[in-house]
Amino acid sequence: MAEEVILLDFWPSLFGMRARVALREKGVEFDMREEDLSNKSPLLLNMNPVHKKIPVLIHNGKPVCESLIMVQYIDETWGPESPLLPSDPHERARAKFWADYVDKKIYPALRTTVGEAEETAKKEYIECLKVLEGELGDKDYFGGERFGYVDVSLIPFYSWFYTLETLANFSIREECPKLVAWAKRCLQRESVAKSLPDQYKLNDFILSSRRSISLNK
């Protein structure tokens, strides 16, 4: 019996992008279903009754919610020959730490910068990116030579860089050149290129929705 893999998503969602990248990185075929967040489907409300948010991964009728949990589930369920998380316990914990940093530092700073575009918010966002750039160092990817869990967690944010630069009037390339080079490297992967939206299309959406935008995790 063939597996049924459904992703309830919304194309601009940073967190939905994570699931898309992870699924494609593992070569998993899936049915992506766009949700209207102003009129959520009965399937979404049934599969995520607690938070009622996208993304939701439905694997053979069973839901998995929260993007980082979804990426870990995908990693454990498919493609063991190309793991996203390291096998070493300490390196595994380290990867989870930095993915958590993205959610607790980068995401709030991004929301503040998009919402306010003030100098303080911009500085905070740049500082957070510089911390990540310091962790990346001279490595190809956050885990070394292999594209992995932290890369999947962070790369969706690259699609928002153009909008941030436009709204807050600064250059992420000038502030964090190694991080931008890393993002370009990630975009050479088919899994990433197919999962991230066009930055100009996304910019138009963000600007038109700026006052009422709701970024769902």
Per residue in 30-62, pLDDT (tens digit) is 999 999 999 999 999 999 999 999 999 999 999
Assign 55 to helix, strand or coil: coil
pLDDT > 70 in the chain, percent: 94
Percent of the chain with pLDDT over 90: 81
Chain-centre distance of CA 93, in angstroms? 19
Q: What is the pTM of this model?
A: 0.93
The b-or-e profile of 15-47 (16+ CB within 10 A means b, else e) is bbbbbbbbbbbbebebebbebeeeeeeeebeeb
Average pLDDT over all residues of the chain: 92
| Whether residue 215 has pLDDT greater than 50 | no
C-beta separation of 15 from 155 below 8 A: no
Residue 138 near residue 11 (C-beta atoms within 8 A): no
Given this model, what pLDDT does residue 63 score?
A: 98
Which residue, among 136, 129, 198, has the nearest Cα to 168 in the 3D structure?
Answer: 129
Residues 56 and 66: their CA atoms lie apart, in Å, by 7
pLDDT-based confidence at 214, cuts 50/70/90?
Answer: very low
Q: Which helix (H) or strand (E) holds 92?
A: helix 89-101
126-178: per-residue pLDDT in tens?
A: 999 999 999 999 999 999 999 999 999 999 999 999 988 888 888 999 999 99
- Cis status, amide bond into 197, omega within 30 of 0: no
Per-residue confidence (pLDDT) for residue 23, from 0 to 100: 98
Tell me the C-alpha distance between 210 and 214, whole Å: 9
Query: How would you list the strands of the sheet with 56-59, edge to edge?
Result: 31-34, 5-9, 56-59, 62-65
pLDDT of 213 higher than 60: no
